[in-house]
Structure formats: structure tokens, C-alpha cells
Structure 1
Amino acid sequence: MKKNKLTLAGAIVTSVFLLTGTSGFAQTTAQSSASIRPYHISVPSSAITDLRKRITSTRWPEKETVADQSQGVKLDRIQKLVQYWGTGYDWRKAEAKLNALPQFITTIDGLDIQFVHVRSKHKNALPLLLTHGWPGSVFELIKIIGPLTDPTQYGGKAEDAFDVIIPSMPGYGFSGKPTGTGWDADHIAKAWDVLVKRLGYTNYVSSGGDWGSVVADKMAKQQPAGLLGIHVNMPATVPADVALALKNGDPAPAGLSEKENAAFNSLNHLYTKGGGYAAMMVTRPQTLGYGLSDSPAGLAAFFYDKMNEWTYSGGDAEKSLTKDEILDDISLYWLTNSAASSAQLYWENNANNFNAVDISIPAAVTVFPGEIYQAPKSWTEKAYHNLIYFNEVKKGGHFAQWEEPQLFAEELRAAFKTLRK
């Protein structure tokens, strides 16, 4: 796999980004829109002080009236997490994790896109674009950088190596926030191809979960030159008759296999009891954002609810992720004030991301046991017509890259093995 060296258009100027009140981050140096500029994170201490002050002033609701989490995050659990956030958690350690990586920013279609770009030391590394989801971020993906770029240190071979590109989606993290409509998954998919080509690559692969899966699927549908194949861990496979039954609240269609019935039941639970979060973002992201942007406890509870439900942990995210890892992610949303801007993607997309796609380029799928639903192979091969890899693993959930980085890296090595040249 040949790759070109990274070239920076224009002068190389380190860009420092500072918080500007509630408006997010503002660039201090003007650059050509096609340039690639180094990026360094430096959150002002005043923002951290304000966060802790707000946590101290939290007004809590009454305790839930049930013994389980059917009404949402239990009061005692979220109080412990938020208390630690305000007293024991150190954002500077999280900031240092990101600043230890090669970070850059570039402007695509008028919007700043911040990204991590790590080149492997091994020759002929395969360029890999990784896209995070919601309520995830680049923190969801950084643990797999080592196994992917330096496989010989993690049980792999030199020929397994990848160059890794991890952008923050528009409205997420340190990327810019759209000021108008139109930044949907299709637009992001096109922008990602621009990003990869701007880095000098001609051939590459794409992978993601949650929104990352949706973006990878869109890229596969668009078939930009040089995209060799995709890998997704939240595949869109639900057949039309099953999708209609789920939409109408009808029983499962007759004739489904055991695995197909299990998938139907998982999705039926999401649609009837677990999808309220998405309904709010699809219909009223701005209204939701007012509360989440003003209350750290509210933001933490909204995200922690999904982390508990979607990790392979039996409802306790802290069995899969550490408190610090959870708070790294939540803090990123808080400090960039991106609760509303990230939710806008749901409003922009406004589509069912589980319904079967129609993709013909090489595609690979890994099914994790803690995913929102476990896609049956029978459905998957009808949606991804050139299915080059399919595997059901025994651990990991919706945040598989975060929960099981070594396993996920091994899956990517296997998934893309036949596409290396």
C-alpha cells in the first residue's frame, strides 16, 4: 500500500484554541482553508473552576421510585459520579492524553475539522479512518491507536499496521460547530474523503460504530475513489418487513430464525422503552441543549444512562470503563459546550440507522454481544452484498473500541487483511 507524505499547505503555525465564553473555541490565527495546522488543547483554568462550582450547586431530584434503572440512572450512582467529577477528577490528565497525540485542524466546506493523525513506523501501513459516535468522542478511540499503528507490540505482525486518522465530527469535541443546516451524515462522509485525500492518501479504509457506522455506510454508498472497504460494528441490516413491524408496533414477522427473533426483540425494546433520548434529539435538540449546557449533573446523567445501558456490563458502565474514562468523555462535551451542537446531528439525519443498507463495496462486520442489537448474518449479507468478513465475538458492547481495544484491533486486522496491496 503506497502512501504519500503529509504536506502542510502554507506556513506551519501552531494554533492555540481558547474558550470564548459560551461560544466554544475560536481560532487565533487565520489560515488557508486547505491548510493542515498543528493543534494543541489548552482549556482555561477558569472553565474548570466554573465546572466545579456548578457541580457544587447541583439541585438533585428525589430518589427514583423503583429498585432498578427502568426510570433512568439511579440517584445514588449519579451523585457519586458527579461528586467525584467535582472533587477528585483531573481534566488535565485527559488533556495530556490528547496532547500526547499528533493533532491537527483543517477547514472543509467552511468548517474547522480537528483530528488525530498517527502514522505507523511500519512500511506499507494501511490508512484507516476511524469515526466515533454519540455520546462518544475521540476518547472512545484512542486506546486502539497503539495496537493498530504498532501491532508488533500488541501480538500482531508488521504487515498488520495501519496509519490512523480520527476526526471529531462537526459539532463534537474541538471541531467547529455548524451555524446552518446541511451537516448530515452524507455531508460528513464526503468531508472525510476530502480529509483523507488532503493528507496525501489515495487508498484507504473506513471503520466506525454508532454514528461512525452510519458515516462509514454513507461513504460506502458514495464510493469515493480510493475507498477500498469499510468495517462497522453497528451494521444497518434490518429487512423492510421487520422494520415495518417495529415501526407499527406489530409482532415479529413469521418465519424468523432464533437469531433474527432475538434481534427483533432487542430493537423492539429500543423503540418502545429505550429510544427516548434519540426522540428528543431528533425533534428538539436545541431545547434539550439548554438544560444539558447549563447543568453538569444533567449532562452526566444523560450520557451515563446510555453508557450503563450500552456497555457490556450488566447495566454498570464502571465495570467496563473507569470513572476517569467516563468523565474524560463527558468533560469533553462540557468544556466544548457541545451538548446541543452534537445533538443537531440527530435532527439533521432524522432516519432509522438500523434499516438495511444497500452496499456493494467490500464490507466487514463485527457483532458484539453488548451492542444495541446483534445483527444476524442472514440479514447482514443481504444488506452488505460484498461481505468479506463477519464475526460474532464474545465480549464488548456498543462502545467496543473503548471497552475492548485489543480485541477490536484484532478484528480490524482480520477484517481488512484481504484489502491490503
Structure 2
Amino acid sequence: MNGSANDVQPFEVHTPDAELEDLRARLATARLPEAETVYRAAPDPRRWDQGVPLADLVDVVDYWRTEYDWRPFEERLNRIGQFRTTIDDLGIHFLHRRSARADATPLIMTHGWPGSVAEFVDVVDDLADPTDPDAPAFHVVVPSLPGFGYSDKPVTTGWGTEKIAATWVELMGRLGYDRFLAHGGDWGGNITTVLAGRFPAHVIGIHSTFAESPPGLSTDGLTATERRWAEETYAFWHHRAAYAKQQATRPQTIGYSLVDSPVGLLAWLLDKFAEWSDSKDSPFERISRDRILDDVTLYWLTRTGASAARLYYESHNSLDPDLRVDVPSALTIYPADIEKYPRPWAQERYRRIVRWNSPDAGGHFPSLEVPGYFVKDLREGLAAVLAAQQLTKSR
């Protein structure tokens, strides 16, 4: 994996007009099924019991075709600063926003699925250069997972979360960051846990919205809320996780639809933005329609529906049950997230929890749903991590 800063190359996105015209043409000729058989008037979350309601999809498709503009998001990525480097023969794309502050700490932020670097574009500037001089500042690195966005698509098996974590250490080293903080949710939370557990010499500490406990722990002694969290997490994996089983076992099969049909891709991703966000009826109560379409369009233009799905094939249920995290950890559990592990369970894996937070609002995509709160919570969590690390050094 050895490389140097010379291997890091600037990168910009300039999508040909023909690509966007082709997308609009495909949207105009889409064939749609009949409406779901559980029709209910909005607002009502039960409208989504069979998946994305036809009326909602038609509305978003029409907006995507006639009003949505990809160019502002493309320009936003270029303005933040994009780069690519090759690690283990795979091109890795990442955003890199250096802070102007001399006391800034390196921070790598890892997205999940059905997300992308679009999850963090609205918070990078605030994290790098906060207006409050007393707030911590960060040199922010946001990589695209292998097979996602403008990173290369693996052509062999083996690119699971363990290898990705090792790749992130190499990436940060090439940027001059031998020690750094890490944040993630969803797959990003899993990878952040692996980073902290496998590479404590490089990871100062972590913040995560995904605190996966070791398996097989007892519910004895849990509070009523903690029991409810455990029951909801169990119910999710046993009754609402067909998407994960499909992508973990047959990513190639679903991949044909995701790469060939923009409407199929939109429905597959929008379903999760709806089900996993803290909303009463529609994900657009929390997340802007443009930002969700930025994410979906990124998948479409990069043809990564299949390659992104393969992460499940590589890593589903693969987190080492014996992996322990001994670096300082700040964990935030949002109320509408799909997996919520009680603190007594989480602390069996994360041995130095320096901050535990359970906010009143937010779901699986907090950086998009409650960006202001997300930044505040991340700052406070990482400030607690840095304070704990400094205390350890002074002893």
C-alpha cells in the first residue's frame, strides 16, 4: 500500500451534457407499474407499506426530469476540493477540505449506503472553519467508498470493511495525517469501528452514530427504553431487511436494474430515505428533494448501483464479534435510526465511551435531516474525545 503525497491528484467533475440529456430521455419513457394496493391519503406512513407509493414516485420523477439541476452539486464538489489516489490498484476518490486554523485536527468521515459523499457536503465547511473560535476545527477528509461515486469499482472480491479501513489509514498517511479522528454512520460506522479497533496507533478517537454491540448479549437489567431499542433493532433485521439480503446474496442481479433504469434506482434508494428518516410520511419533511436527487444522480452518472451493492456481499454480518475499541469514543443514537443498541451492550465493544448522546429528533441520515444539530453534536463528541486523549497523555 505504500505511496506518497505525490500519488494524490486533483480531480474535478464535468459531466457531459449528453449524459444529462440521456437521463432525462430515460425518465420520459419510463414504464411504471400500477399503484400499490394499500392506498391511503397522505400524510400516513402506512402508505409506504409496499414500498414507494406510485403518486410520490411520479412526482419525484417529473421533478427530476423537468426541474432538477445537477450542476450546482457538481460545482459544490469541485469547490470543496476533490482528489483521487490509487491504493492497492484501486482508485480512491475523496473530498479534502483543510481548515485555516493552526489547531485543526484531521478527521475522516465515512458515508454508508444508500448514501455517498453527498451526505456531508452541507457540513464540511462548518467543521473545517467554524465561526466560533472556541469550537474545534478539523481538516476534513470524505472518501467515496470503493465502488461508490468517483472511486473505482473493484474487479475482484476482497474489498470489505477490513480492507477499506486499512486503505483509509494509508489514505490519511498520504495526506500527512498519521493520527486522526474518525466519524461514520451505517457502513461508515462499521468501518470507523474497524479503524479504531485495528489501528489504535493512528486513530485518536471516534464519533459514530452506529454503535454495534457484540452479539448474544442479555436483555437482563436493561431499562424499558433500552429494551424497546433492542426489540426494534431485532424487528428491523427480521422483517425489514430484504434489501440487505438481496444485496448480500445477489448484488449482480439487482445491479442490472439499478444501472439500466433511473426510475428503478430512484425507487430503490428513495425507499430507504423514506423508511429510515425521522418523518411522518415523506423523507422530504426532513431532507430536501434536491439533496436526495444529488445522491441518486451521483449513483446514476457513475453507474455504481451494482458495485455499491457488492459491499453487502463483501461485508454483511462480517464485523468481528471479538473486536474491541479502546480509543475514546463518542456515540450518538438518533431516535428514528434503524439500529439502536443499548449503552450496556455498546460498552462491551467500545471500552472508553467518553460521551453518549440520545437526541430527540433525527434518523439514519442526521447530517441531511438535522445538519445544524449534527455539526454541534459531532463537535461536542469529538471535543470530548480530544479532551480524554489529552488527559491520558498528561498522566
TM-score by length of 1: 0.86
Any idea what SS the aligned residue of 1:382 has? coil
Aligned to 2:307: 341
1:165-176 residue pairs with structure 2 within 5 A?
A: 165-176=141-152
Residue 190 in 1 paired to residue 166 in 2? yes
Following superposition, the deviation at residue 221 of structure 1 comes to 1.4
Following superposition, the deviation at residue 234 of structure 1 comes to 1.4
Aligned to 2:339: 373
8 Å CA contact retained: 1:237, 1:357: no
Say if 1:189 and 1:119 are closer, same or farther in 2 by CA, change over 3 A.
same
Aligned to 1:406: 372
Aligned to 2:64: 85
8 Å CA contact retained: 1:223, 1:361: no
8 Å CA contact retained: 1:42, 1:95: yes
8 Å CA contact retained: 1:122, 1:158: no
Aligned to 1:306: 272
Aligned to 1:203: 179
Q: Percent identity?
A: 39
Any idea what SS the aligned residue of 1:84 has? helix
Aligned length, in residue pairs: 377
Any idea what SS the aligned residue of 2:274 has? helix
1:7-406 residue pairs with structure 2 within 5 A?
A: 8-9=5-6, 35-67=7-39, 68-152=47-131, 156-158=132-134, 160-237=136-213, 239-241=215-217, 256-351=222-317, 358-406=324-372
1:46-93 CA distances to partner (integer Å, 9 max, x unpaired)? 111111111111110111001321111111001110111111111112
Any idea what SS the aligned residue of 1:130 has? strand
Structure 2 letter corresponding to 1:391: N
Q: State the alpha-carbon separation in 2 of the partners of residues 354 and 376 from structure 1.
A: 19
Q: State the alpha-carbon separation in 2 of the partners of residues 48 and 280 from structure 1.
A: 29
Q: State the alpha-carbon separation in 1 of the partners of residues 112 and 322 from structure 2.
A: 19
Say if 1:313 and 1:129 are closer, same or farther in 2 by CA, change over 3 A.
same
Following superposition, the deviation at residue 402 of structure 1 comes to 1.7
Q: State the alpha-carbon separation in 2 of the partners of residues 158 and 36 from structure 1.
A: 32
Structure 1 letter corresponding to 2:272: K
1:213-265 CA distances to partner (integer Å, 9 max, x unpaired)? 010011111125221111110110254146xxxxxxxxxx5654312221122
CA RMSD of aligned residues (A): 1.8
Aligned to 1:21: none
1:77-124 CA distances to partner (integer Å, 9 max, x unpaired)? 011101111111111122111111111111111111111111111111
Structure 1 letter corresponding to 2:129: D
1:374-405 CA distances to partner (integer Å, 9 max, x unpaired)? 33222222221111111111121101112222
Structure 1 spans left out of the alignment, 5+ residues = 1-6, 10-34, 243-252
Aligned to 1:17: none
Any idea what SS the aligned residue of 1:228 has? strand
Q: State the alpha-carbon separation in 2 of the partners of residues 377 and 148 from structure 1.
A: 27
8 Å CA contact retained: 2:98, 2:128: yes
8 Å CA contact retained: 1:125, 1:159: no
TM-score by length of 2: 0.91
Any idea what SS the aligned residue of 1:163 has? strand
Aligned to 1:250: none
Structure 2 letter corresponding to 1:62: E
8 Å CA contact retained: 1:401, 1:408: yes
1:146-167 CA distances to partner (integer Å, 9 max, x unpaired)? 2211112xxx334511110001
Following superposition, the deviation at residue 355 of structure 1 comes to 7.0
Following superposition, the deviation at residue 350 of structure 1 comes to 2.5
Structure 2 spans left out of the alignment, 5+ residues = 40-46, 391-395
Q: State the alpha-carbon separation in 2 of the partners of residues 240 and 324 from structure 1.
A: 41
